[in-house]
Amino acid sequence: MTSARTRARLVERLRGQGIQNELVLQIMGQIPRHEFIDEALSHKAYDDTSLPIGFGQTISQPYIVARMSELAATVPERKQVLEIGTGCGYQTAILAKLFKTVHTIERIGGLVRNTRDRLSRLGVHNARLRHADGSLGLPDLAPFDAILITAAAPIVPENLINQLSDGGRLIFPVGSQNQELRMIERQGESYFETRLEKVNFVPLLTGVL
C-alpha cells in the first residue's frame, strides 16, 4: 500500500514546510502511517491532513506531528517522554524512536485497546499505554524530559510544569476556537514560554470512557 517513494515524498514535503531535524525526518519516513488508520482511508494516509480514527477522534496531520517531535527531540536527554492523548498511536510510535521510554495516556478505552494491539504488531515495545484522564500527568513517574499534549486545553496546563526535568519541554496546543501551539521550557527553577503557531486539535476532555 505504501511505497518507499510515497514516504520519501512525505519527507520532502515536511522539509519544504520547515521541518529541519534530520532524525525526525528519517523517522517520519520510516513509520507506516497507513497502519494507523482505517483501510478505507488508506489512500489518504500520506496526505498532509488529519483523518478520523473512530470514537470521534482524529490522527494528527503529519506536519504537526513532525513539528512537535522536532521540538521534543532537542531536549538535553531523551530518557522518558509523556504523551497525553494517545489516539491511534502515530505520534507515540515516533516518540518511541526518539526516547528510551514513552508513557502515553488515553481517556477512551476502545482506542487504548486498539492502539496497544497495533503498536505491538508494529514492534513498538517501549511505549506504556494507560487508560486514564491525562490532565494531571503522571506525578509518580515524573520528571519527564518532554511532555506532549495532543489535544487542546482551554487554558495553559501549568500543573504539568512540575513534572518536567531540568531542560525539559512541555509542548501543547491551547485555546478553543483559536488554538495556538506553545512550549514551556524549564531552565533550573525558571520557565520560559514560547508561542509557536496556529493549530487545530480535538479538545482535551475530562473523565474516562
Which range in 3-11, 79-87, 121-129, 182-190 contacts ligand SAH by CB under 6 A? 79-87
Asked if residue 173 lies in contact with residue 199, where contact means CB atoms within 8 angstroms, the answer is yes
Instruction: Of 87, 66, 82, 54, give the one whose Cα is nearest residue 22.
Output: 66
CA separation for the pair 87, 59 (Å, rounded)? 7
Told to check if 179 binds ligand SAH by CB under 6 A, we report: no
CA separation for the pair 150, 179 (Å, rounded)? 12
Told to check if 163 binds ligand SAH by CB under 6 A, we report: no
Among 62, 85, 137, 175, binds ligand SAH (CB under 6 A): 85
Told to check if 151 binds ligand SAH by CB under 6 A, we report: yes
Say whether 69 is catalytic.
no
Exposed / middle / buried, residue 164 (Cβ in 10 Å: 0-12, 13-18, 19+): buried
Instruction: Pick the closer one to ligand SAH by CB: 18 or 109.
Output: 109
Q: Which of 3, 42, 60, 135 is catalytic?
A: 60
Number of alpha helices (DSSP H) and beta strands (DSSP E) in the chain: 5, 9
Q: What is the CA angle 55-177-49, rounded to 5?
A: 55
Told to check if 150 binds ligand SAH by CB under 6 A, we report: yes
Among 98, 105, 146, 184, binds ligand SAH (CB under 6 A): 105
Told to check if 147 binds ligand SAH by CB under 6 A, we report: no
Backbone angles phi, psi at 120, to 5 degrees: -70, -40
What positions carry a catalytic annotation? 60
Residues at the site binding ligand SAH, with contacts judged by CB under 6 A: 57-60, 65, 84-85, 87-88, 90-91, 105-108, 111, 133-135, 150-151, 202, 204-206
